[in-house]
Amino acid sequence: METYSGFTEGDLKAANWWIRNKIKINFWFRAGLIASNVLVWGYIFWFVVDAYALSYPKESRITLDIAQNQQLLDRIEQDRPRNINTSQVMVFATTDDRLDVFVDLENSNEQWWAEFTYKFNVSGEQTSPKQGFVLPASQTTLTELGWKPKQPGGRNAQLMVENMRWHRVIPSEVENNYSEFIRKRFAGVTAEHVRYESVAVSEGQRLSRTTFDVVNSGAFGYWSIDYVIKLKRGNTVAAINKINIRDLKPGEIRPIEVYWFDEITGVTQTEIIPIINLLDPGAYLSSERLTP
């Protein structure tokens, strides 16, 4: 009588192969697991070593370099000269359809001064170019006085600046202290006994006059100094003028008279502004000019 086990010949062969190779399969399976663990933990170990022993110092240096470069850029930015501040351009109508135009400048940079070319655009007409400058931490006034436009009546004006040239103060040239250098060279020059008054020139006609003394009690003499004179009503400028004095010697007292062609009323203050480039060696009188 035949019996049937339920297994085919193929099943028996597969079972036989499994029994004969089970140990090898188990071995290679475990070897694969071990190799995988070695690779995983090796990668983790390498990542840790690379992060903290190899790449971290490099990345730290990169970060430090970036921070140092940023600090350098910040210092460069801070050391770069700031823009000059300007007031509103003022225009005054005078006699014979002429105009007086002026603007105030302020340089807040303590180690930079500027030279430039400037002119005014007055209602579409431009004045002739002039040279100007402004010293560190100081103010100055740019003027165009007695200018006659082709078309009278223009009262709107804008300042136009070209060829701006910045100069850094060289410590060795200012005795390592710019403020003290300027004080020594010009603190002795003052405008004293300032007076504004109305004077009669003929019957029924009166003009205005400003008088003051330029006193040089310092040790330096000067080739040329411009003085801007502003007449004010309170804080408002009512009129402006400019004069030039030359060969001002130490110990000299120079009387100054400035006439205004109109009787300007309500003047409460006279502001006198000296304009001289004290950083220019050519601004001072030579020793030969100082001797009598």
Lowest-confidence pick of 67-71, 76-80, 143-147: 67-71
Residue 71 corresponds to which tokens in the numbers above?
A: 């600090």
> What value does the mean pLDDT take over residues 237-259?
96
CATH 2.60.40 fits 187-292, yes or no: yes
In this structure, are residues 147 and 126 in contact, taking their beta carbons and an 8 Å threshold? Answer: no
Q: What is the pLDDT of residues 87-102, one digit of tens each?
A: 999 999 988 889 999 9
pLDDT at 74 over 70: no
Q: What is the pLDDT of residues 3-50, one digit of tens each?
A: 545 567 666 666 666 677 767 777 777 777 787 777 777 777 776 666
Q: In sequence order, what are the residues at sequence separation of 6 or more whose Cβ sits closer than 8 angstroms to the Cβ of residue 32?
A: none
**For position 60, what pLDDT does the model report?**
62
Residue 1: pLDDT band with limits 50, 70, 90:
very low
Percent of the chain surpassing pLDDT 90: 60
Q: What is the pLDDT of residues 110-157, one digit of tens each?
A: 999 999 999 999 999 999 999 999 999 999 999 999 999 988 776 889
At residue 251, what is the residue type? G
Residue extents of the structural domains in the chain: 7-80, 83-169, 187-292
> What value does the mean pLDDT take over residues 81-90?
95
pLDDT at 267 over 90: yes
120 CB neighbour count, 10 Å cutoff: 23
Q: What is the pLDDT of residues 167-191, one digit of tens each?
A: 999 999 999 999 999 999 999 999 9
**98 φψ region: left (φ > 0), alpha (ψ -120 to 50), beta (else):** beta
Fold match between 83-169 and 187-292?
yes
Percent of the chain surpassing pLDDT 70: 78
> CA-to-CA distance for 173 and 9, rounded, in angstroms?
110
CATH 2.60.40.3230 fits 83-169, yes or no: yes
pTM above 0.75, yes or no: no
Residue 237: pLDDT band with limits 50, 70, 90:
very high
